[in-house]
């Protein structure tokens, strides 16, 4: 093949030879003495046909579909318990997956899912703990000054104390709820003086007619704890609890007949002055005897303290007895109802009316300044009744349970 004089490259001077190598394109070559052309091969990429494009798309679709099927199958295998539970809750029948429970490979999926879930929970807990430790360490050593850190510790201690108080309050409320829970087989025992004689029948009527709960009312006028020779309440209560094993709650209302000097048990001709240390010791011992008897029979005691009285001297005596009685009953795990506020007492002494939410005034005390009107009786009775945790379903009217 002829070559050029200067570049030693193939030279195609013959026109026929150029046609023979038509796949070459000519590039001009510049030299010092002559200009010639250099053949250069250009490889051109042929465009894909529609068949090739369609085939490529189908392959991609198959790959994505297969990946989705595998992912869904593995997820179902691992989370089979959750899926089965959701299906049961939604459609109220077992899913078709329940037929696979006998297969070991299916059971291994549930076990693997549980292990995976436990591992995730463990990891989350450790991350949370690590974050807490890091934040605490940062706050302790970098974020706060010593005075700020001391204040934060005090706030944390206060929050913990409040939390403990809330827990104690909830425990007390649960305890009270259990103590005053009544069932149709339980009985309620009422003991007291003429004040109780007016209040108890209302509670008895509601318990019997609406819930079929039996009650016993031994309240007697002019009685108290000062003169057991006239009427011995500790002895009467003990005998009643012995003979009525279904009594669950004992409600007591005493006080106005007690502010007197009492006979000395060791010397009948001598009297012990009211409110003296010896008198108080004896009065407390009689309350404690009642409380001990009730505790032995697993009976809850609800003790009502007397309200304010019209006469100043009697009112002062009742204030003394209220404090004494509330202290002794509480120490022996009983429950107290203070009747003053519910009868309209606003802290300024005797008041014989109570004002309702609509502004209407209701007379609650009788003319003697001691006893109650029917409205006053019902107010106190309703407060007693509301303490009870009663059965959900009331019974048909039955008045044979009142004694």
pLDDT tens, 127-166?
998 888 888 777 666 666 667 777 878 888 899 999 898 8
28, pLDDT greater than 60? no
Is 150 part of any domain? no
Structure tokens at 358: 């609509």
DSSP β-bridge partners for residue 191: 252
Please check whether residue 401 is in contact with residue 208, taking contact to mean a CB–CB distance below 8 angstroms. Answer: yes
- Whether residue 151 lies inside any domain: the answer is no
Q: pLDDT per residue over 75-94, tens digit each? A: 888 887 888 777 766 776 77
Query: Is there a domain that residue 32 lies in?
Result: yes
Domain count, the chain: 3
Q: What is the mean pLDDT of residues 171-185?
A: 86
What pLDDT shows up at residue 106?
Answer: 83
pTM score over 0.75: no
Q: What CA–CA distance (Å, rounded) separates 59 from 222? A: 104
User: Does 354 lie in the same domain as 252?
Assistant: yes
Q: Looking at the structure, tell me whether residues 97 and 230 fall in a common domain.
A: no
Strand 361-363 versus strand 353-355 pairing type: antiparallel
Residues 22 and 63 in one domain: no
User: CA angle at residue 326 from 321 to 329, to 5 degrees?
Assistant: 120
Instruction: Please check whether residues 231 and 380 belong to one and the same domain.
Output: yes
Looking up tokens 């003429």 gives 194
What pLDDT shows up at residue 233? Answer: 98
Q: In which domain, by residue range, is 312 found?
A: 180-387
Residue 225 is assigned to a structural domain of this protein: yes
- Burial letters 43-53, b for 16+ CB under 10 A, else e: eeeeeeeeeee
My answer on whether 324 and 240 are in the same domain is yes
Residue 66, token pair as written in the block: 């297969």
Q: Are strands 187-192 and 214-217 parallel, antiparallel or unpaired?
A: parallel
* E strand or H helix at 64: helix 50-78
pLDDT given for residue 24 in this prediction? 47
Mean pLDDT of 288-299: 98
**How far, in Å, CA of 180 to CA of 178, rounded?**
6
Which residues are registered as beta bridge partners of 189? 216, 250
Cβ neighbours for 318, distance < 8 A, ≥ 6 positions apart: 255, 256, 259, 306, 307, 308, 309
CA distances from 191 to 248, 339, 356 (A): 14, 16, 30
pLDDT top residue among 297 and 105: 297
Q: Could you give the CA distance from residue 345 to residue 136 in angstroms, rounded to a whole number?
A: 53
Of the pLDDT bands very low, low, confident and very high (cuts 50, 70, 90), residue 32 is very low
Lowest mean pLDDT among 75-89, 158-172, 298-312, 326-340: 75-89
Closest among 163, 150, 85, 76 to 113, alpha carbons compared: 76
Tell me if 403 sits within 8 A of 222, measured CB to CB: no
CA distance 362 to 34: 133
Q: Which residue from 299, 344, 276 is spatially nearest to 186, judged by alpha carbons?
A: 299
Query: Any idea which residue has 């001297």 for tokens?
Result: 313
**One domain, residues 30 and 71:** no
What's the burial of 117, exposed, middle or buried (CB within 10 Å: 0-12/13-18/19+)?
middle
Q: Check pLDDT > 90 for residue 284.
A: yes
Most confident region among 20-29, 97-106, 116-125 by mean pLDDT:
116-125
* Secondary structure element (H or E) that encloses residue 214, with its range: strand 214-217
Rg of the chain's alpha carbons, rounded to an integer?
48
Does 138 reside within a domain?
A: no
Report the SS3 class of residue 298: coil
Query: 85 and 232 share a domain?
Result: no
């Amino acid at each position: 093949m002829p070559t050029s004089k200067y570049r030693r490259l193939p030279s195609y001077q013959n026109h026929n030879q150029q046609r023979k190598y038509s796949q070459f394109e000519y590039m001009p070559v510049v030299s010092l003495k002559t200009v010639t052309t250099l053949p250069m091969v250009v490889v051109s990429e042929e465009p894909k046909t529609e068949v090739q494009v369609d085939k490529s798309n189908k392959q991609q679709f198959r790959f994505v579909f297969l990946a989705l099927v595998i992912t869904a199958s593995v997820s179902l295998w691992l989370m089979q318990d959750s899926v089965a539970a959701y299906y049961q809750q939604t459609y109220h029948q077992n899913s078709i997956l329940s037929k696979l429970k006998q297969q070991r490979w299916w059971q291994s999926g549930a076990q693997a899912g549980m292990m995976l879930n436990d591992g995730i929970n463990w990891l989350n807990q450790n991350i949370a703990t690590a974050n807490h430790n890091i934040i605490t360490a940062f706050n302790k050593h970098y974020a706060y000054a010593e005075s700020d850190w001391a204040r934060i510790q005090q706030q944390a201690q206060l929050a913990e104390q409040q939390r403990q108080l809330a827990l104690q309050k909830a425990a007390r409320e649960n305890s009270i709820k259990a103590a005053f829970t009544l069932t149709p087989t339980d009985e309620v025992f009422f003991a007291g003086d003429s004040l109780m004689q007016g209040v108890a029948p209302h509670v008895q009527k509601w318990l019997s007619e609406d819930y079929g709960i039996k009650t016993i009312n031994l309240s007697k006028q002019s009685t108290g704890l000062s003169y057991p020779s006239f009427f011995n309440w500790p002895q009467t209560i003990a005998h009643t609890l012995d003979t009525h094993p279904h009594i669950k709650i004992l409600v007591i209302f005493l006080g106005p007949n007690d502010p007197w000097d009492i006979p000395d048990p060791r010397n009948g001709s001598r009297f012990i002055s009211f409110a003296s240390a010896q008198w108080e010791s004896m009065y407390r011992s009689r309350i404690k005897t009642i409380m001990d008897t009730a505790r032995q029979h697993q009976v809850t005691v609800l003790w009502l303290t007397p309200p304010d009285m019209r006469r100043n001297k009697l009112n002062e005596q009742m204030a003394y007895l209220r404090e004494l009685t509330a202290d002794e009953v509480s120490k022996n795990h009983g429950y107290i109802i203070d009747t003053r506020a519910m009868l309209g007492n606003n802290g300024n002494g005797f008041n014989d009316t109570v004002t309702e939410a609509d502004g209407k005034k209701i007379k609650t005390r009788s003319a003697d300044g001691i006893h109650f009107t029917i409205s006053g009786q019902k107010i106190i009775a309703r407060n007693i009744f509301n303490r009870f945790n009663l059965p959900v379903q009331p019974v048909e009217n039955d008045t044979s349970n009142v004694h």
